[in-house]
Amino acid sequence: MIPILPNSKATPQQRNDSLDVLRGIAILLMVLSSSISFGNLPAWMYHAQVPPPKHVFDPSIAGITWVDLVFPIFLFTMGAAIPLAMRKKVANLNALPIVGAIFKRFVALFFFALFSFYMRAWVMSGEPAASQYLLSIVGFALLFALYADLKSYLSMRTARLVHIVALLLSVGMLYLLYAPTDRFILQKTDIIILVLANMALFGTLWWWLTAKSIWLRMAILPFIMGVFLGSKEVGSINEFIYKLSPATWLYQFYYLKYLFIILPATVVGEWIIADTSLADKPRMQRSQLALQGLLCALLIGLNVFNLYMRYLDINIGLTLMLIFSLCFCSGVFRRGEVLTLQAKMAVLGSYLLFLGLIFEAYEGGIKKDYSTYSYYFVCTGLACYALTMLCCIEKLAFGKSLFRGIALVGKNPMVAYTAGNLLLIPLLALTGLQSALDQMGAQGVFGGVMRGVLFTGIVALLTIVSSRLKLYWKS
């Protein structure tokens, strides 16, 4: 157990470079997966349950692709960041301001989900014209004014005034655009951001309430599982809890399934805090770090490939051998050995991955949609491996410049998430360059992939510039 002590005098560590890099990779892969050519690439380049060429959702298809890992890895980074971001508030504030800050973030993320969705040109009109694309760019500018941390450029009072004006203008723009129509529906928002908003609320609240007991924090998960498993029993308390909601457009019990990713990730966040406070950290040799990172990469690649191809039996055997090798390399089996941060994450990742593989036969195999328990556990385990691998690479000092660039994206994910839809796509459409990009995407597999790589690279550049200017968007 790693308690979060309110009276701790240690300086809170609010950032971790490897975690920022992992978040940056996740958000860039999210942009890439949505910008590659549609329909003419191999099936493993898309979500497993919506294969090409028609991309019709088929929930009977089991397996995962790299695309299916992107969202749970981003959720994992969100969960791991909760202790890092909240520790200072827990140490210095009373209960009421803490709860207020948590709910304020929830409301900010919900509005972000609503406004960013309805300011997309193709949402305003089925056949957007130049006016809709220009309005999307205006919407991006308003989001910048609303969410950017402007304290580096303006006084706190002036920055707050800018945020208030931006909020009023944003609400006014939504009213003018959608009041005369029936196309504005609260139930229709950006579902990814809505899920993140719910996880920010419930994940942070439960972490705060159980900050001194990891066991109590994890104890809620079997109850959530129980509600899901019994929710189809008509008239049961499970069904009542499952359907209970003050507003289904804001909250549904269904979203709480992602706590199976968020809550284990908070434990990793606490390990990161504990590791930074150690005066005499346990160290590993460079060869051990390299081997540990390689084994983590093999475990990720092997499981994605085998679960997609449905080589389940051989996957279990190979995974167990690699897990044993990883734990041996990490010093887990050495009596009296003080485990490094990477070793702890490797053990947690191994446990969750193997648990997910045991659940694989349940619910028709691992699937993102409709998501299965195997999916939560496997993806969280692989996210642990990914962070472990990045920690090893960081300690080996490989690719420092590349890491710094990706970390700048990871520090500003809201910009990266919206820049494509609200800024880059409208600019491409207004300048006529969209057709050139589409022509590139039509040139076979290589062109289809390069279309996404080029688009994602521009989004990354815009985000890095914003971060270098210290214009971080905060919810």
pLDDT at position 170 is 96
Lowest mean pLDDT of 104-118, 255-269, 329-343, 362-376, name the range: 329-343
pLDDT of residue 128: 92
Asked whether the bond before 370 is cis by omega within 30 degrees of 0, the reply is yes
How far the first Cα of the chain sits from its last, in Å, is 30
The answer to whether the beta carbons of residues 72 and 261 sit under 8 Å apart is yes
**pLDDT digit string (tens) for 88-135?**
877 777 889 899 999 999 999 999 999 999 999 999 998 999 999 999
pLDDT attached to residue 174: 95
pLDDT band at 280 (very low <50, low <70, confident <90, very high): low
Read off the pLDDT band of 4 (50, 70, 90): very low
User: Is the confidence at residue 193, as pLDDT, over 70?
Assistant: yes
Q: Kindly state the percentage of the chain with pLDDT values over 90.
A: 79
- The answer to whether 271 touches 328, Cβ cutoff 8 Å, is no
- Selection from 357, 269, 374 nearest residue 311 by Cα: 357
Q: Which residue has the tokens 């050495």?
A: 334
Domain ranges of the chain: 17-277+397-468, 278-396
Structure tokens at 304: 């994605």
Radius of gyration of the chain (CA): 23
Percent of the chain with pLDDT strictly greater than 70: 96
pLDDT above 80 (res 277):
no
For residues 103 and 6, the model is more confident at: 103
Contacts by 231-234, CB closer than 8 A, 24 or more apart: none
Contacts of 54 (CB under 8 A, 6+ apart): 39
DSSP 54-99: T----TT-----HHHHHHHHHHHHHHHHHHHHHHHHHHHS-HHHHH
What pLDDT score was predicted for residue 279? 61
Who's near 341: CB < 8 A, 6+ residues apart?
271, 272, 275, 391
Task: Report if pTM > 0.75.
Answer: yes
Confidence at 12, pLDDT banded by 50, 70, 90: very low
At residue 111, what are phi and psi to the nearest 5 degrees? -65, -35
Query: Using alpha carbons only, what angle is made at residue 247 by residues 243 and 253, rounded to the nearest 5 degrees?
Result: 40
Closest alpha carbon to 351 in 314, 315, 326: 326
Confidence of residue 11 (pLDDT cuts 50, 70, 90): very low
What is the mean predicted confidence (pLDDT) over 48-73? 93
pLDDT surpassing 70 at residue 336 = no
